[in-house]
Amino acid sequence: MKKGTLLSPTDNRLIEILEKQKLDLVVRFLRKQEEVEAGKEFTNKILASLSDLFFLLTDGLQLVQANQEFYRILGYGNENGTNLSLADLVDDVEYDSIRLALEKGEFQNLETHLIDHQGTHIPITLKGSTYTSECGNILHMLIATDRSDFYSMMNRMHEAQEQLIHSVRLASLGEMAAGIGHELTQPLNAILLFSRNCLKVLEDPVKNKPMLEENLNIIVDRVNKASSIIRSLKSFGGKTIDEKAPVNVNAILTNILKFLQSQLTLSEVEIDLQLDTSLPLVLGQEVKLEQVFLNLIQNAIQAMGKTDQPRMSITTFLQSHIDPETLLEKPFVGIKVQDNGEGIDLDIQRKIFDPFFTTREVGTGMGLGLSIVDRIIRGLSGFIKVESPAGRGASFFIFLPPCANRSGNI
């Protein structure tokens, strides 16, 4: 168009249309920007209200964005937060496992740790997913749930459980008191008798020297026996040690039976002991397994209270079984404690492992024995079963995984 030339009506119309389109575009752009801003504000509000730690990483695992909770829990200032990378936030091994998980695209509930600004490891469960932004950048979105409270609660529960096991152990001691009293009476009577003998022959100690010597030796022997009973009582009443080690199930059973000998004699229980001498060792805690067998044996003794000829058979064996954890068949060390007592009805069998379930008279049973037994056995990756065919007493089976290549021959 030449300078000074008047515009035709068509040109004016065209300019008008173009102006309108320009205005339209500006309005649409402004609206879009408003929407984006509102979206951003909305996302920021959501992120700020999250009780989880949210953080975004670049493809090179460099931190690009995180919510307030992330900075609050880990203690990094927002200003230097952007210099962080995943390598600053986790250990080397955990770094590799997160990187591998992210390479697969998405993962859930990865148990790991984040390192805070003071180097403290914070237990978390981590979810992650990877997506590509509109500009084609790869971003990894991670959400971590702080598990510190959960683990400290678990620790407190563990302590409470240890305390409970200890109390039940002391209660078992109480139940054994009658037998122990009987066991101690015998050496005490002997000491009394032989001391009196000594007093009698003291009038002529030279002539009676051999007799004095013999009586005094017997007294020393009986005192030693009484002390060994008290020693075993003390060690039994002591606190449990939590470390697992290869243990010999046959030896533990033999010890427990020695310990319960007087209670078994008083209750006139006949014992049939069949121990597989080629049994492998199991990984466990001796005191806890003592507690397990003690509970089962004492329950059996109680269940046979009204039986004419009480008989208990204790058998150990190696048997293949489906592992409830992996559902694969594998060998287990088995322990069976069978009695010919009152048995357990089917509807009761379902409840006996529940804490505080008892059929005993008020004040005689706490109903904690079997629930503790079950917990201990599961803690050792084993399991427990009960069988009670009508009128034929009860059998408790315990299955524990053997230690690899360790024999527990006794």
Whole-number minimum distance, CB 372 to ligand ADP, in Å? Answer: 8
Distance in Å, CB of 316 to ligand ADP, minimum: 18
HSE-CB for 368 with a 13 A CA cutoff: 16
Nearer to ligand ADP, 114 or 294 (CB): 294
**Order of strands, edge to edge, in the sheet holding 245-247?**
245-247, 280-284, 402-407
Residue from 93, 128, 86 nearest 107 by CA: 128
The residues with which 336 forms a beta bridge, in sequence order, are 315, 397
The distance of closest approach from Cβ of residue 296 to ligand ADP in the complex, given in angstroms and rounded to an integer, is 7
Stretch that binds ligand ADP, among 5-13, 95-103, 273-281, 353-361 (CB under 6 A): 353-361
Give the single-character DSSP code of 237: H
**9: which residues sit within 8 A by CB, 6+ positions away?**
none
- Is there binding between residue 352 and ligand ADP (CB under 6 A)? yes
Per-residue binder mask for ligand ADP (CB under 6 A), 360-379, x = binder: x----xxxxxxx--------
E strand or H helix that includes residue 195: helix 148-201
In the complex with ligand ADP, the residue whose CB is nearer, 53 or 292, is 292
Write down the least CB distance from residue 299 to ligand ADP, Å: 3
Residue among 21, 163, 274, 359 that touches ligand ADP (CB under 6 A): 359
Least gap, CB of 111 to ligand ADP (angstroms): 33
Question: How far apart are alpha carbons 368 and 165 in whole angstroms?
Answer: 9
Q: Which is nearer to ligand ADP, 284 or 341 (CB)?
A: 341
Q: In the complex, what is the shortest distance from the CB of residue 371 to ligand ADP, in angstroms, rounded to a whole number?
A: 6
- Cβ proximity to ligand ADP, 90 vs 372, nearer residue: 372
- Least distance from ligand ADP to the Cβ atom of residue 345, Å: 9
300 in contact with ligand ADP (CB under 6 A): yes
Of 116 and 342, the one with the shorter C-beta distance to ligand ADP is 342
Give residue number: closest CB to ligand ADP: 369
Distance CA(410)–CA(398), nearest Å, equals 20
- Please enumerate, as own/partner, the contacts of 65-73 that have beta carbons within 8 Å and a separation of 24 or more: 70/144, 73/114, 73/116, 73/122, 73/146
How crowded is the C-beta side of 6, counted as CA atoms within 13 Å?
Answer: 2
When asked if residue 394 is in the footprint of ligand ADP (CB under 6 A), the reply is: yes
- CB neighbour class for 195 (10 Å; exposed up to 12, middle 13-18, buried from 19): middle
Does the footprint of ligand ADP cover residue 167 (CB under 6 A)? no
Q: State how beta strands 394-400 and 329-339 pair.
A: antiparallel
| Polymer length in residues for the chain | 410
CA distances from 1 to 5, 14, 15, 62 (A): 7, 14, 13, 56
> How many residues belong to the site for ligand ADP (CB under 6 A)?
23
**Least distance to ligand ADP, CB of residue 310, Å:** 11
With contacts defined by CB under 6 A, name the span among 54-62, 146-154, 254-262, 357-365 that binds ligand ADP. Answer: 357-365
CB-based contact 368:356 (threshold 8 Å) = yes
Amino acid in position 384: I
CA distance 360 to 366: 8
Contact present, 285 and 240 (Cβ < 8 Å) = yes
Does 165 interact with ligand ADP (rule: CB under 6 A)? no
Q: Rule CB under 6 A: say whether 303 interacts with ligand ADP.
A: yes
The footprint of ligand ADP on residues 269-298 (CB under 6 A) is 295
Binder among 172, 299, 316, 340 for ligand ADP (CB under 6 A) = 299
* 7-15, 155-163, 184-192, 334-342 -> range binding ligand ADP (CB under 6 A): 334-342
Least distance from ligand ADP to the Cβ atom of residue 178, Å: 16
Residue identified by tokens 């909770």 is: 69
Q: Which residues bind ligand ADP (CB under 6 A)?
A: 295, 299-300, 303, 339, 341-344, 348, 352, 357-360, 365-371, 394
